[in-house]
Every structure is written in C-alpha cells, then in structure tokens.
Structure 1
Amino acid sequence: MSRYDTQGRAEIESRIRKTVVPERGQIPMFTYTDPGVYELEVERIFGRNWLFLGHVSEIPRPGSFVTRTMGEESVIVGRGDDSIVRVFLNACRHRGMRLACEDFGEVNNWRCPYHGFTYGSKGNFLGTFMGAPFERVAYPEGLDRDALHLVEARCETYKGLIFATWAKSGPSLDEFLGNSKWYLDLVVGRAEMEVVGHPERWMVPTNWRLPAENFASDAYHTATAHSFLQRLGMVKGVDFGRDGYHVDAGGGHGLGVGVHFDGHSYFPEELADEYAVNLDDGQNQTLSRLKNLHGNIFPNFTFLIPNFIEVEGRRVSGAMLRVWQPVGANKCQVWSWHFVEKNAPEWWKKLGRRMYTQTFSSSGMFDQDDTENWEMQTRSSDAALYRNEEFVLNYGMGLNMPTLEKDEFPGPGDVYDGKFSESAARTYYKVWRDQILEGHK
C-alpha cells in the first residue's frame, strides 16, 4: 500500500478498528505481516514513541558515537564535546548522504564523504572547522548555517539507558516509562552497570511485534518451548516459568517477575551493599527472591534477567537488553546487549557472559527455540492475508483474574499472582491499536 493511497489506508484502519479487540482478547492474525499495517506502524508507532538506542557506557568520552536505527532511519548517538548525549538523523543536509558509515567510533566532527559538508559534535554547521569545501566559490552568497543544523531527535536518559523520539512534544521519558521504572531498576539501576563489548546483531524472519509481546507477557510458553531445561537437569521441573508475578505496568509496558523460595539471594554477596544504596526496600526484597525477570517497554525494547542456572558450583545469570528492529512487515533485526555490574566480582562477569552466550545470544539455546516459533507464526500470518474469513487469535488468558493488593507485592501496576496471564499483552495491543488509529480522526 502506498503512503499516498488514502483509500487503502482508510480500509486498513477500518479493518483494525473492527477486528482488533484486545479488551476481549481478540487479535486478528493479518495485523502482523500486512504491508499496509506495517506502513502505519513505521509512521505512528516508531515515529512518535520513545525508542531505546543504547547505554551511556557505549559512548564514554566526548566525540564517541554509535549508529543505531529509529524506525527505518539511521541515527547517530553521540557524546558532544560538551559531554551531552545527542541523537541526530544520520544524513547530511546537503544531499542526504550518511555521515557515519561505521557502527561506532570517536570523532571531532562529522564530515560527509560525498561533498565534504562538515558538522560539529553538537550537530552545528557553524564553527572554525565546519562548513562546505570551496564555500566562497561554490556559494558566493553564503549559506544559511542555522538551517543546515543536523536533524535532531529529542533525547533523554534513564539510569544510563539512552532513548530518543521524533515527537517534538508529548510525554517526557520519565512519564512514558511510568510504572515500568520500578522494575527496570532491578535490571539496570541496581548498581553501576556497563555493556560488555558491542551488541550482537542478526536477522530473524519474523514480525517485530511477536518477540516484543512475548517478553512483555508470555511465561506460559516456557513449559513447552523450553522444556529442554528440565530434561538437561538445569531446572527442577517444566513449570519453572510459573512461580512469580505477571505485571501490566500500563502504557503498553509489561513484564513477568519470577521468584524462588530458597530463602537467600542468587546475586553476588559482594554487591549487596551497592544494591541497598540504589534500590528501595521493596525492590531489594524482590531482588533477593528473583529467579528471572522478563519485560518489554513499548514498542520494542526488551530486558531480561534469565533463569539462574548452576555453573561451576555457582548460580549465575546473564542480563540482556534487546531491541526488535523492524526491517519490513515479516523480518526484523535483533540487537542484543549483554549487561553486567561494573563492580561485580570476576567470577560473576565471566560466568554471566558464558550464560548469556549459551542461552540468549545469537547461538543461544532459548533463542533457537523462540525464533523458530516466531518464524512459523509469521508464515501463518503471511498465509492469513489471503483468507476470506478473518483468523482471530485468542488472548484471553487471565481475562477476569483479580489483581493483587499493594501489601501482597511491593511493585506498582496491575500485578497478578502467578506468571500465566495475557493481561500485559492485551494492554500492549490496546496501546498499539489506539496509536495506529490516532492518525485517523
């Protein structure tokens, strides 16, 4: 569907309005891979929401940068010579050529490889070393330097996480994250954290929304898709994903908090004092019982503390941050960061890296299971595009389940006892539907 095909776009919006009913747990299969739906997502989901781009430890010094993607647009995430983190569209204002063709690096300024237009680390086209080659000859009447400033996104950070949005107004990052901050702190705010190495990237033939929603809401699949853990003796039973809490944090953000009943924390004792300083009593209490934690910030930013597994006589987990970057309606690029406490003991860092690689990296055991499921779902969605009758999926698990009271669990949001629920998925799709239809009043 062309972006100029008004009638076709209206038909897609009408179909979504009639068939996407998350309040009753009804999600039609066509929405995952319909090209018209994807076009609306690029514009109305990725063009307006806060999107995760990286961690401040990846750009530690003035001039350091990484290149990332917002929607389908390449962006530069850089630390200016004033140490402020900024995000720019990775395109020269002269002819649109990419300024940074590398994945990461460190520079004093940005020089376009096509015609040589040069910009400062703040995106400015004004300064001693900024400008255009042979400028007095090529532009005898001069250039409007203010108008040539790089296109800049709104950029904010939370606990070292870098987010940006193309929306010129709207909620702050803090408002956008809402209740999810309490849970994010367990992953990224419990200590001074750092990214290990550079993010892995690989392609998966799946719609981006399937894995995002999986991490937001779905602990139910673990007993079947990941039953190998029990067969290998790595967990006591296939129901390892059930014990804990399902959390609908609002705003499309969802997560699951898995807990154990062993009476002691699985995290390193050496870091207990740092945790106590950075977390409140309720968060520390939850961390001490934590067996696993999975979640997703709308639309496509996933965080994970995988199930603790015994290695070399120690229980260990390897924390992960992930983005499901769309590359079309039925393909996405996975960006995966391994994350660890900067002041952690070496055994925790070493074994954590090993566990990340074995479980949730590009070659990880869990990822092999999950990506095959997502690929087959995507193929089903592709086939559903040609059905005469709507193929509607059932998202009704826990539809009438009561929420816990505050004294039963310290975290915010709508919290449910046990991780088997689809409440967060229903809210995810309600936010998705409402944003998709927002452009059609």
Structure 2
Amino acid sequence: MTDATLEKLHDRLKATVRPEEGAIPLFVYSDPDVYRLELERLFGRVWLFVAHESELAEEGAFVVRQMGEQSVIVARGDDGVIRVFLNACRHRGMRLTSEDCGVASMWRCPYHGFTFANYGNFMGTPFERAAYPPNGLDRERLRLIEARCDSYAGMIFATWDKQGPSLGDFLGDLRWYLDIFAGRAEMELVGEAQRWVIPSSWKLPSENFASDAYHTATAHAFLARLGLVRGVDFGRDGYHVDAGGGHGLGMGVHDDRPGSWFPPELEPEYASKLDPDQLALLHRVKNFHGNVFPNMSFLIPNFIPIDGRLVTGMMLRMWQPVGPDRLVAWSWFLVEKNAPAWWKEKGRRMYTQTFSSGGMFDQDDTENWEAQTEVANASLTRPDEVMLDYTMGLDATPLSDFPGPGTVYDGKFSESAARTFYRTWLDLLTKEDAR
C-alpha cells in the first residue's frame, strides 16, 4: 500500500468510524485495504490466543496455529517451557511441519533437511561440513523466529510485538471474568478442534460474542418454540460488560431458583480459586458469552436438560481470518478436568448439538454473518457511505455497585462493548507512529 493510499484510507476511517456516536461504516467489514492494514497493525502486534495448556501436557507436544495469516508452532520444549515459533525454516522459508499437532523432539525441514530442536535452536543439516566449509553454519543466527508468549487461566497467547504491554495489562479488567469462565477450576480441551470455513468478515462473529445478546430473540427464537426456554426474551436478563481494550461480554443470570447449576462435586475447587464475589456470580450464571479482542470468543451456553440433568457445553472459539471476507472457525469443547463423567459426557453432547459445525445456534449465526458480508462486499462500489447504527445503550447509566470491574450495565441489551471494540480497532489501525 502506497503512502498516498494509506493516508487516504486513514482519513476515511477517521471520518466514518465514530464509535462514540454509535456509527460504523459498512465498508470496514470487507474492504481489502482495511484487511491488509489489520494483518499488519492488529494481528501483527496485539496478543492473540494460540492454544490451551492442556493441549501441551507433555514435553515435546506441539500444535500448529495461525497468528493472522502466519502459521506458527506452539510447543512445549524438552525443557518444559512453552514457546511460539514462526512455522518457517530459516534456510528458504519452507513450512517446517504440516501436521496439526504431535509430539516431537525436533522438526526437520522437508526441503533441504535443516533441523531445529523443539526449543527453537538450529541443530544441523545434511552434509553441513561439505556444503558450508570450513566451519559449518552459525547456529545462533539460524534459531527459529520466536514470538512473545504468556498464558492466563490456561489460555496461551502470543504477540510479535516485543515492546508492547504485558498480557496481564492487555487483558485488563477482563481477567476478573476470565477467572469465572476458565480459571474457576483446572480446565481441559476435550477432542480435536472442529474447523469450518465461513464466508464472513472475522469482525462480525467477534463483536457478536463481545456485545450482541439482542439477536437471540430473533435469530435463535427456535429455543422458545421447542420449549427449551420460557420466552424469546431469554437473552435480556443479566449484565452487559464493557471491559475496555476492545474486550466485552454478557452474562445471563437466574434468580428464580436457589443454588448453582454447576456440579456440586466441583464446588470445593471453585471456592479455592475464586473470590467470594466471583463465586456468588458463578452460582447465578445461566449463560456467559464474550470475546477477547480481537478474535477469541468464549461461551457458556444456556443450560438445557439432557437425560434429566441441566448441562451446558462450554467452548473456546477462534475466528481465524483468511481474507477480508473469509474466515476459518476453530471450536473447542472446554470442561473442568476433575468434573464427574456425566457432566463431561452430557456437556459434550450439548456442545455438539448447539455450538459446533452442525450445531443449531451456529447454523443461525453463520447464515447471518455470511449475508452481512455479502452486503458489505456489494456496497464497496457505492459512491456513498452506508452507515450502520450502534447506538443501543448509548445513554444508559452503568451500575455503580456491581462487584466486578469494567463498565457494567443492568440487562444484556447494549452495544457498549461493540463501540469499544471498534474504538480499539480504529486506534490500532490509524496510530500515527505505527510504521
């Protein structure tokens, strides 16, 4: 992108993306120049979710993921340390491994045989003395390119920005809520990730999970028709949390019955890991959805009866961009490692039936995101700006006595977190010293 093109795009974004007014232009969903800027200034610099610690339980275990469009290897080295490497040989840039996951002490490039240890060091190559006389290759210079890596509540994040904020500072107030979701017990991912392609902008599902409970009454009205909930307003009751930094979540709560809907066998572990306010909120949870900026979503779906027991199927979700109007959805079933067998088995069934590649909810949502992106693509040739309304809850007064941090609103019908999502997004894309 030329400097002139970049300046023109900056001017357009600053003029039309106005989150504080609740105004977002349609073109940002699918414009190719916007997407190229996202890959450089957003996915190339912020903390991105790449794996869960339970996937790397043993030394030598690795998974292959993406940061933006860059393939990376997330590995636990023989020294026990988890690291994230660019999946590229230092000789000719060949992809080192095409496996999705495995256990290995080293990776050997299939092109010329350059070999690297699972902690990143260059180990050697065939006929090295003959090909590189008299002393062979400089091993330190050929070490794999490594990202900054850290974890929170078992979730592993990485960034290419060596000087940016710590992961803790990046997550900010969201950490209090992530503790309830993923830090309340030792958690594990069960099974491999489900993956499927959606012809959609990555931003649409991300902001949906961060902010949008309003769509449930229309898009997911089948729940009421099937008698799984009492009415189509099931998405309203609870709290909307603008956690800052582009992060957001919504919590549906129940107050019509005493006690928690989670397994009583896990209560001692919950109590050992959560503070009293977090534990009290967990006891009221009937659903819990959010998004870690930019593209990692999490969900405790509505509890529903399966074989006479109320269960939920918790998940982690990554919206992996592969173009301005195309993404790969990664979806994992997340559950307490020490949970009773019935909770794990029925929870996985519930997850598969509701939020998965063939799940009832995902069919509804995917159709909407695809259609939105088609409209955005078609509008790119329009001479005018098509502006979208993000004003829900714009004048609402936040709660002053909620026990958790962030800006919290009574009721889940709000777009505050979506407005903060796009404010954070805009600031990153148009930062003056970004080059």
What TM-score bracket applies, with the shorter chain setting the length? over 0.9
Q: What are the equivalent positions in structure 2 for 1:27-426 lying under 5 Å apart?
A: 27-125=24-122, 130-141=123-134, 142-261=136-255, 262-405=257-400, 407=401, 409-426=402-419
Q: Does 1:433 align with 2:421?
A: no
Q: Quick one: which amino acid aligns to residue 205 of structure 2?
A: P
In 2, the alpha carbon distance for the partners of 1:26 and 1:45 equals 21
In 1, the alpha carbon distance for the partners of 2:98 and 2:318 equals 21
1:321-375: CA deviation from partner (whole Å, max 9, x where unpaired): 0000001000000011100001111110011000000000000000000000000
In 2, the alpha carbon distance for the partners of 1:111 and 1:184 equals 38
Q: Quick one: which amino acid aligns to residue 431 of structure 1?
A: T
In 2, the alpha carbon distance for the partners of 1:119 and 1:427 equals 42
In 1, the alpha carbon distance for the partners of 2:201 and 2:72 equals 22
Report how many residues are paired: 432
1:22-54: CA deviation from partner (whole Å, max 9, x where unpaired): 010000000110000000000001001000011
In 1, the alpha carbon distance for the partners of 2:359 and 2:7 equals 42
Secondary structure (helix, strand or coil) at the match of 2:233 reads helix
In 1, the alpha carbon distance for the partners of 2:333 and 2:162 equals 31
On the 8 A contact 1:292/1:308 being kept in 2, the answer is: yes
In 2, the alpha carbon distance for the partners of 1:143 and 1:350 equals 52
Q: Quick one: which amino acid aligns to residue 285 of structure 1?
A: A
Q: CA deviation at 1:410?
A: 1.2
CA RMSD of aligned residues (A): 0.9
Secondary structure (helix, strand or coil) at the match of 2:124 reads coil
On the 8 A contact 1:44/1:439 being kept in 2, the answer is: no
Q: CA deviation at 1:313?
A: 1.1
Q: CA deviation at 1:440?
A: 5.9
1:141-163: CA deviation from partner (whole Å, max 9, x where unpaired): 43221110000000001111110
Structure 2 unmatched ranges of 5 or more: none
In 2, the alpha carbon distance for the partners of 1:382 and 1:440 equals 30
In 2, the alpha carbon distance for the partners of 1:422 and 1:187 equals 22
Q: Quick one: which amino acid aligns to residue 213 of structure 1?
A: E
Q: CA deviation at 1:439?
A: 4.5
- Aligned sequence identity (%): 64
In 1, the alpha carbon distance for the partners of 2:343 and 2:139 equals 51
Structure 1 unmatched ranges of 5 or more: none
TM-score of the pair, normalised by structure 2: 0.98
Q: Quick one: which amino acid aligns to residue 263 of structure 1?
A: P
Q: Quick one: which amino acid aligns to residue 339 of structure 1?
A: L
Q: CA deviation at 1:6?
A: 2.3
On the 8 A contact 1:66/1:78 being kept in 2, the answer is: yes
Q: CA deviation at 1:121?
A: 1.4
Q: Quick one: which amino acid aligns to residue 91 of structure 2?
A: H
Q: Quick one: which amino acid aligns to residue 133 of structure 1?
A: P
In 2, the alpha carbon distance for the partners of 1:350 and 1:68 equals 27
Q: CA deviation at 1:165?
A: 0.2
On the 8 A contact 1:206/1:378 being kept in 2, the answer is: yes
